[in-house]
Amino acid sequence: AQKVTQAQTEISVVEKEDVTLDCVYETRDTTYYLFWYKQPPSGELVFLIRRNSFDEQNEISGRYSWNFQKSTSSFNFTITASQVVDSAVYFCALSEQGGADGLTFGKGTHLIIQP
């Protein structure tokens, strides 16, 4: 069965520090998709990235970057030069190509950026 583990329940850093959120997944499928979502204090869920299992290239989008490593079943998310507006709960999620269900979410990491 598929599983996503976000071991960091809460991280607190000072503004402008870099911070990495860890995501480890388990799946038996060879084709799968990984996602990150952001949930700010207002409560909505904002899609950040989708990555398929055949694309191990790192992705950078502004201050955000993602490191996908199949060898360690990890899909980590780094925020460079963090800002107070980055404060949110971040969820990693997995969907299997051969599965029947929707997304399997991790329990989330609460990121607090202190000014």
Partner 1 sequence: NAGVTQTPKFQVLKTGQSMTLQCAQDMNHEYMSWYRQDPGMGLRLIHYSVGAGITDQGEVPNGYNVSRSTTEDFPLRLLSAAPSQTSVYFCASSLSRTYEQYFGPGTRLTVT
The reply to whether 64 sits near partner 1 by the rule CB under 8 A is no
- Smallest gap from Cβ 8 to partner 1, in A, equals 13
User: CB within 8 A of 7, min separation 6: which ones?
Assistant: 22, 24
Stretch that binds partner 1, among 17-25, 30-38, 55-63, 79-87 (CB under 8 A): 30-38
Residue bearing tokens 């980055």:
86
CA distance 66 to 51: 9
**Contact positions vs partner 1 (CB under 8 A):** 9, 33, 35, 37, 43-45, 47, 50, 91, 95, 97, 99-108
